[in-house]
Structure 1
């Protein structure tokens, strides 16, 4: 039993003009597919039994307990699959979802950061400052507070014992060059600013409510 590339919840051109269709197609069918193929190779390998029966989210949370020989490929490929599969759900066609936070997640953002704009400023700074490839995240910590972090490569906040600050991610942004270079070239801050036009705040609200209900796997993908 293996993982499979999930279908996008929208057409490749749905996020235009903020994310171009060519980038979305390559990002999904080439980059994400590679992560899926490579984590499946780990599953089929000599130490793949350590992953059997674990969902994708559970794999992220159990990396320190895995055999040392597969930890790095699991972080790179399992993390890549998880991060991208979640990322697609965090975006929506402009105008098809709430364009700003609503309800309990809005109240929490205002309470923990002072305002939505102040949260955006911190998030943008984390995304822009990530050296090389990685991600920016908005997560719920073990203390119930929201925090912003940046992780390298395909690491994510679920990876306790791997990342500096662990928690349950509810919003994330891919800042690898393959996510934006065709349209924005080296203008990462412009790409980051454009991202806010396609954030699916309805989904972020669902993720937040799930996280605060004690579900650390607000997004998950089972072994196919």
Structure 2
């Protein structure tokens, strides 16, 4: 069954001025749509066609001959997850069990912010910064290109796209400004908390 391009969970103008309508139109309607189309075309009529996209990512991650399938599958999944990690008037700080766990594992929310900003700013070239649950410990990690933490057995809770197409129309080469706005004004902590709750049931 074909993987569907999800609609954005907000209007194209909803994240302005942090992320513009133009960026979302290009990023979602062009880049993300292309990954979804390429993935569906690549698995159509193969034994992978009946598997979930998460299964395909895990199966193809370590097979160089399937790198094209992996790249498009992982990018399709990563983007679908990324859209949900943001919301209008987001940012701020988490609460409840997630906040307690961040404080316990990072030594405070500010320490988490510092680690996440560093991961995003120091990812050379294209990639992603993540908050993941690794075993029973929260960690900040980063991945290059299409890579995804669950190929390493980690559970993604939050991601930030640091490919240039995610921010360049709005921030040009000022990636740290984009990262600051993402954390301060865009993060959907409710979504992150739901992911954490599901991962710790």
Uncovered stretches (5+) of structure 1, i.e. residues with no partner:
161-165, 214-224
- Partners of 1:137 and 1:86 lie apart in 2 by 11
Q: So what's the TM-score if we normalise by structure 2?
A: 0.94
For 2:73, the equivalent position in structure 1 comes to 78
Q: Secondary structure at the match of 2:141?
A: strand
User: 2 CA distance for matches of 1:100 and 1:119?
Assistant: 11
Please state how far the C-alpha of 1:68 moved relative to its aligned partner.
Answer: 4.7
Whether 1:152 aligns to 2:144 is: yes
Contact 1:63–1:159 (Cα < 8 Å) also in 2? no
- Give the distance between the partners of 2:159 and 2:64, measured in 1 at CA: 27
- 1:198 aligns to what? 186
Alignment of 1:33-182 (within 5 A): 33-44=33-44, 48-49=46-47, 51-64=48-61, 68-70=64-66, 72-94=67-89, 99-142=92-135, 144-160=136-152, 166-182=153-169
Three-state SS of the structure 1 residue aligned to 2:40 is: helix
CA RMSD of aligned residues (A): 1.5
SS for the counterpart of 1:159 is helix
Deviant stretches of 4+, over 4 Å = none
Q: How many residues align?
A: 200
Q: What is the deviation of 1:178?
A: 0.3
Contact 1:184–1:191 (Cα < 8 Å) also in 2: yes
Give TM-score, length-normalised by structure 1: 0.85
- Compared CA separation, residues 126 and 64, structure 1 to 2 (3 A): closer
Contact 2:43 2:69 in 1 (8 A): no
Gaps of 5+ in 2: none
Taking the aligned partners of 2:68 and 2:19, their CA distance within structure 1 comes to 29
Structure having the higher helix fraction is 2
Post-superposition Cα deviations, 1:37-83, rounded to whole Å, max 9, x if no partner, equal 110111126xx31x233212222233357x6522x112210010000
SS at match of 2:128: strand
